[in-house]
Structure 1
Amino acid sequence: MNHFTNKVAVITGAASGIGRALATRCAEEQMKVVLADVEVAALQKAEQELTAAGANILTVITDVGKESDIQTLAQKTMDTFGAVHLLFNNAGVGAGTTIWQSTLADWQWVMNVNLWGAIHASRIFVPLMLQQGTECHIVNTASRAGLESGPGNSIYRASKHALVSLTESLYHELKTIQSKIGVSVLCPGFVRTQICDAHRNRPAEYSKPGDIADPSPISTAIDQFIRSGVEQGISPQEVADLTFLAIRSNRFYIMPDPSYKETVRQRMEDILNQNNPTFVIPSHI
């Protein structure tokens, strides 16, 4: 997909971080942009800023973990713009501690957003794209955590590994039917976003007493390491620019930070050689 002017982009998690940067880039490409997010104030701010810059914007308050919200998002997109050409399943959160100490609510919230959000969007938006019969592209935001092996951040890791596999299957299935829909999986490393403060958007139904696990020494140390990495990470705008380069070249794997390829290679070698998993301590950029 090379031509973006007047095309329609739908972005989840669009109010901040990578999603906000993607929205800016879409606007720069003179696209019509649908911003979906659960964080109302940030969503309104993004709408105001992009509209002031001359962009054609639609905002839809969306909890991606709810199928009904994704259905509403698709309906409002079609009612307003009549099509969808770029779909960025970008919303993501993190929570919990070790696998056995994380609460059921921790698991449910992270999986609902990180994995089920993309599942709902794929089930609802892909048929619309196929019916259009035009060039389209889907980008699912996973993470380096979806390509590596290691301790801690376990729910997030599991959700992102599943999302990578989901996206690979979607790529193969759409290619099998010779569709005009391209697919990419975005696997950023450390990026300067608010991912470490995702709890600010944790729904009330997953925030009752006992729903949130107490941190363990393992998770506390890893969380501190991740927060430090995020603070030193690349900019969301750099990720957005690299993502558009990948869309133009129809490239599936988008890895903005090549420094973590060694940890991916180590995991692949462990699998191929049937070795026990190796934990390679990642370095900050």
Structure 2
Amino acid sequence: MGMDAIGAGKTALVTGGAAGIGLATAQHLARAGMNIVVIDLREELFDAAEATLRADGAAEVWTRKVDVSDLAAIKALEAEVKGHFGGVNVLMCNAGMQPGSDIFNTSKTWDKVLAVNLGGVVSVCQVFVPGMMERGAPGLVINTGSKQGITTPPGDPAYNVSKAGVKVFTEALQHHLRESGSLVSAHLLVPGFVFTDLTRRDRTEKPDGAWTPEQTADFLFESLAKGDFYIICPDNDVTREVDEKRMDWAMHDIIDNRPPLSRWHKDWAEAFEAYAKGN
């Protein structure tokens, strides 16, 4: 049902779409002849992104500088898109940031991380999805989460909280869509290690263990074609089997009443390593 939302003359909106996974996903949609609306704050990337999408066959390409944490700006964008294109068929909430954080917020990053990574996804969906449902046509919502929102490793708690929230929100959204009989479906994209501006840091070349954004987008559409909700991407270092063991261990912290984040606890780290190796 979701893949029926993709097609010539239909419209896709991608937040964080000027580069990385967002742009690679938009390219897939452009090749289907769709109108592409790219939302980003990085205006310096707009000309190259637009040229790429037009070369890939997009019908129309819009680029808009919109802060996804600004609800008024999102509402104005929805009205503009609806007025010109009639609405959105594919919505990808991919905008995100990872400036680093600490538990007591000495970095002063918590408010912005939560406002963009979680609040942006919630607001964009709350503004755009009702209109997608009202059209009575197939629709597709893709929200970008993170493995850090599932296994929540220590080191960047604000990012983990934001991405855990995206997971929970997207699950609730898909439940609502399913139970209401809507032709719109929601899906959670969980990338592995991908070489993007978010993960680049001071590196100029892709690490061997990382996937490219294009590989991630390919996996996304293969998974959507199968009807997957949880799209857990591997990479060149981490297999699906390894991901499953890490997630299973994290859930058993609750089930077995172990210390939280026991995978990194001095009394449990050895047991986790044995479990991960299948011993």
Alignment TM-score, normalising by the size of structure 2: 0.84
Among 1, 4, 7, the residue aligned to 1:5: 7
- Secondary structure of 1:155's counterpart equals helix
Give 3-state SS (helix, strand or coil) of 2:187's partner.
Answer: strand
Q: Secondary structure at 1:241's aligned position in 2?
A: helix
**In structure 2, distance between residues paired with 1:44 and 1:68:** 25
- Measured in 2, the distance between the counterparts of 1:72 and 1:52 equals 28
Shift of 1:22: 0.6
Matches within 5 A, 1:172-191: 172-191=175-194
CA distance in 2, matches of 1:85, 1:234: 28
1:248 aligns with 2:251: no
Residue identity matched to 1:26: L
| Distance of 1:94 and 1:18 partners within structure 2 | 15
1:64 aligns with 2:41: no
Deviation beyond 6 Å, 4+ runs, structure 1:
none
Count of residues in Structure 1 that have an aligned counterpart in Structure 2: 255
Output the CA distance in 2 between the equivalents of 1:267 and 1:53. Answer: 41
Contact kept, 8 Å, 2:31 with 2:56, in 1: the verdict is no
Amino acid at match of 2:253: D
Instruction: Give the residue type in structure 2 aligned to 1:113.
Output: V
| 5+ residue gaps, structure 2 | 235-239, 274-279
Q: Of 252, 257, 261, which residue of structure 2 is paired with 1:274?
A: 257
Amino acid of the structure 1 residue aligned with 2:14: I
Q: Is the CA contact 1:36–1:73 (under 8 Å) kept in the aligned structure 2?
A: no
Which residue number corresponds to residue 277 of structure 2? none
Of 22, 27, 30, 2:25 maps to: 22
Hey, what's the Cα distance between the residues in 2 that align with 1:249 and 1:72?
34
Contact 1:149 1:279 in 2 (8 A): no
Give yes or no for contact 1:187–1:254 (8 Å, CA) kept in 2: yes
1:1-285 mapped onto 2 (5 Å cutoff): 1-3=2-4, 4-6=6-8, 7-55=10-58, 56-104=60-108, 106-196=109-199, 231=207, 232-257=209-234, 258=240, 259-277=242-260, 278-279=262-263
Cα contact 1:191–1:235 (8 A) shared by 2 = yes
Q: Tell me what 2:276 maps to.
A: none
Cα distance, 1:59 vs structure 2: 1.4
> What is the CA–CA distance in structure 2 between the aligned matches of 1:189 and 1:81, rounded to whole Å?
34
Equivalent AA in structure 2 for residue 102 of structure 1: T
Q: Quick check: 1:14–1:43 contact (8 Å CA) kept in 2?
A: no
- Give the Å deviation of 1:101: 4.2
Worse-matched range after superposition: 71-80 or 3-12: 71-80
Question: Residues 27 and 142 (structure 1 numbering): CA distance in 2 closer, same or farther, change over 3 Å?
Answer: same
Contact 2:101–2:159 under 8 Å retained in 1: no
Counterpart Cα distance in 1 of 2:112 and 2:141:
23
SS at match of 1:182: strand
Per-residue CA deviation, residues 82-106 of structure 1 (Å, 9 max, x unaligned), is 12111000001012332114344x0
Provide the rounded CA distance (Å) in 2 between the counterparts of 1:47 and 1:142. 25
Structure 1 contact 95–153 (Cα < 8 Å) conserved: no
CA contact (8 A) 1:192 1:236 kept: yes
Deviation at 1:40, TM superposition (A): 0.3
2:15–2:95 contact (8 Å) kept in structure 1: yes
Cα distance, 1:77–1:18 mapped onto 2, change above 3 Å: same
- d(CA) in 1 for partners of 2:226, 2:98: 31
Q: Distance in 2 between matches of 1:238 and 1:196?
A: 16
Cα distance in 1 for partners of 2:111, 2:105 equals 14
Structure 1 residues 196 and 234 mapped into 2: Cα distance closer, same or farther (>3 Å)? closer
| Secondary structure in structure 1 of the residue aligned to 2:79 | helix
Identity of aligned residues (%): 31
What are the Cα deviations for residues 169-198 of structure 1, in whole angstroms up to 9, with x where unaligned? 11111112111111111111210101146x
